[in-house]
Amino acid sequence: MTGGVARSGEFELIARYLAPLSAAAPLAFGLTDDAALLAPGPGDQVVLTKDCMVSGVHFLDADGPEVIARKLLRTNLSDLAAMGAVPRGYLLGLVLPRNVDEAWIAGFAAGLARDQAEFGVALLGGDTTATSGPTVLSLTALGTAADGRVLRRSGARPGDLLYVSGTIGDAVLALHLKLGKIFGVAPDMRAALNDRLDLPSPRVGLGARLVGIASAALDVSDGLVQDVGHMALASGVAIEIRAADVPLSAAAAELVGDGPALFVDCLSGGDDYELAFTAPADRATDVTAAASASGVPVTCIGRVTAGQGVIVRDRQGGVVELARTGYRHF
The secondary structure of 276-330 as a DSSP string is: EEEE-GGGHHHHHHHHHHHT--EEEEEEEESSSEEEEE-TTSPBPP-S--S----
pLDDT the model gives residue 111: 98
| 8 three-state secondary structure | coil
What region does 293 belong to: left with phi over 0, alpha with psi -120 to 50, or beta?
alpha
For the chain, domains (ranges, CATH) are 5-146 (3.30.1330.10), 161-313 (3.90.650.10)
Per-residue pLDDT at 259 exceeds 70? no
Which helix (H) or strand (E) element contains residue 235? Answer: helix 224-235
Tens-digit pLDDT profile for residues 143-165 = 999 887 899 999 999 999 999 99
pLDDT the model gives residue 296: 98
pLDDT the model gives residue 176: 92
**pTM, 2 dp:** 0.89
Sign of the alpha-carbon dihedral angle for 315, 230, 87, 33: negative
Q: How far apart are CA 276 and CA 220, in angstroms?
A: 7
pLDDT the model gives residue 188: 94
Tens-digit pLDDT profile for residues 201-245 = 999 999 999 999 999 999 999 999 999 999 999 999 999 999 999
Angle between helices 170-178 and 250-258 (to 10 degrees): 60
Per-residue pLDDT at 1 exceeds 80? no
pLDDT the model gives residue 329: 52
Residue 180 sits at the vertex; the CA angle it makes with 138 and 72, to the nearest 5 degrees, is 15
pLDDT band for 251, please (50, 70, 90 cuts): very high
Angle between helices 261-268 and 224-235 (to 10 degrees): 40
Per-residue pLDDT at 2 exceeds 90? no
Q: Which residue from 243, 296, 251 is spatially nearest to 267, judged by alpha carbons?
A: 243
Mean pLDDT along residues 76-99: 95
Q: How far apart are CA 326 and CA 40, in angstroms?
A: 36
More confident call, 1 vs 301: 301
